[in-house]
Amino acid sequence: MATARVTTVTLREMKDRSERISMLTAYDYPIARLLDEAGIEVILVGDSLAMVGLGYETTLPVTMEEMLHHVRAVSRGVKRALLVADMPFGSFQASVEDGVRNAGRFLKEAGAQAVKLEGGREVADLTRRLTSVGIPVMGHLGLTPQMVHQFGGFKVQGRTAAAAERLREDALLLEEAGVFALVLEGIPWQVAEVITTELRIPTIGIGAGSSCDGQVLVTNDLLGLFDDFTPKFVKRYANLKETIAAAFTRYRQEVKAGEYPGPEHAFRLDDGEVRRWQEQLDRRRRQVKTLGRG
């Protein structure tokens, strides 16, 4: 496995030689280290943090401060992968100025190398501005979770010819505005295939079929750690929820039964120190007795 740092240019070169890109989410230091060591090329601190890490029902409530906190933790675990921070809901919609200020914080204060923005033509101006000041942007089209209320739920997008064409136009517009890669989420595979063929930048699919230049999943879904609901496109590569639950149950049983900690988990005082301490205790007890009589 190559050890050079993955950059936005690396991803473009991978597309040019038809090498697939792997991307996963991380929200903390230990998982970031494991992903990086496994050779995952792109690590995203997604605003999915809101749902899989913080227990909210949608991604909307997570704040800039919460995202910064997690991006900092992840960046301490990443040496090689490209680290992308997700712009949370409300951090860029009001104005281009808000977007530039908040995106800049991810690079300056938290160690991200790029940001991800949900949206199509409506974020083209912000994308142009960000890339012009040195902040690389990953686009995100389709079932963009920040639009959940506008969409009336987490619903597959681009299901009509008109909607598919609008997605294709948005993708071309974002490429023209300067995004270095584009996440395509929850759209029919035929739409993702056409967009992938027409773009020079790589597409990263999630619920968008196998023609994309790369794939991304929410790590907690892949590990079987989050099962409040499971989208059709998720493949479970492990069942950590069961493994962790079994470990907690066993720990509780062993504590109750006095089986944990065993002698191998305890610290021992030297025999000499035990003798010295015993002598001190004996002396104190004798003094207390004498005082009691007086």
**Residues labelled as active-site residues:** 185
Distance separating alpha carbons of residues 239 and 226, to the nearest angstrom: 10
Amino acid 263 reads: P
Binding to ligand KIV (CB under 6 A) within 116-145 occurs at none
Considering only 183, 201, 223, 225, the residue that binds ligand KIV (CB under 6 A) is: 183
Amino acid 52 reads: V
Query: Is the CB of 84 or the CB of 135 nearer to ligand KIV?
Result: 84
Considering only 36, 41, 47, 193, the residue that binds ligand KIV (CB under 6 A) is: 47
Residue 206 binding ligand KIV, by CB under 6 A: yes
Q: Among the candidate windows 44-52, 96-104, 169-177, 276-284, which touches ligand KIV by CB under 6 A? A: 44-52
Query: Is the CB of 14 or the CB of 217 nearer to ligand KIV?
Result: 217
What is the H or E stretch that residue 84 is in? strand 82-86
Side-chain half-sphere exposure of 197, counting CA atoms within 13 A: 7
Query: Is the CB of 14 or the CB of 143 nearer to ligand KIV?
Result: 143
Neighbours of 195 (CB within 10 A): 28
Residue 220 binding ligand KIV, by CB under 6 A: no
Query: Is the CB of 44 or the CB of 212 nearer to ligand KIV?
Result: 44
Considering only 41, 86, 170, 213, the residue that binds ligand KIV (CB under 6 A) is: 86
In 39-113, the DSSP E strands lie at 42-45, 82-86
Distance separating alpha carbons of residues 137 and 41, to the nearest angstrom: 16
Rg (alpha carbons) of the chain, rounded to whole number = 26
In contact, 206 and 222? CB cutoff 8 Å:
no
Considering only 11, 218, 225, 234, the residue that binds ligand KIV (CB under 6 A) is: 218
Residue 112 binding ligand KIV, by CB under 6 A: no
Residue 216 binding ligand KIV, by CB under 6 A: yes
Residue 186 binding ligand KIV, by CB under 6 A: no
Left (φ > 0), alpha (ψ -120 to 50) or beta: where does 269 sit? Answer: beta
The site map against ligand KIV for 234-263 (x = CB under 6 A) is: ------------------------------
Residue 146 binding ligand KIV, by CB under 6 A: no
Residue 272 phi/psi, 5-degree rounding, is -60, -45
In contact, 29 and 71? CB cutoff 8 Å:
no
Task: Give first-to-last CA distance, the chain, whole Å.
Answer: 81
Q: Among the candidate windows 39-47, 88-96, 105-113, 256-264, which touches ligand KIV by CB under 6 A? A: 39-47
The residues of the shown chain that bind ligand KIV, judged by CB under 6 A, are 25, 44, 46-48, 86, 183, 206, 216, 218
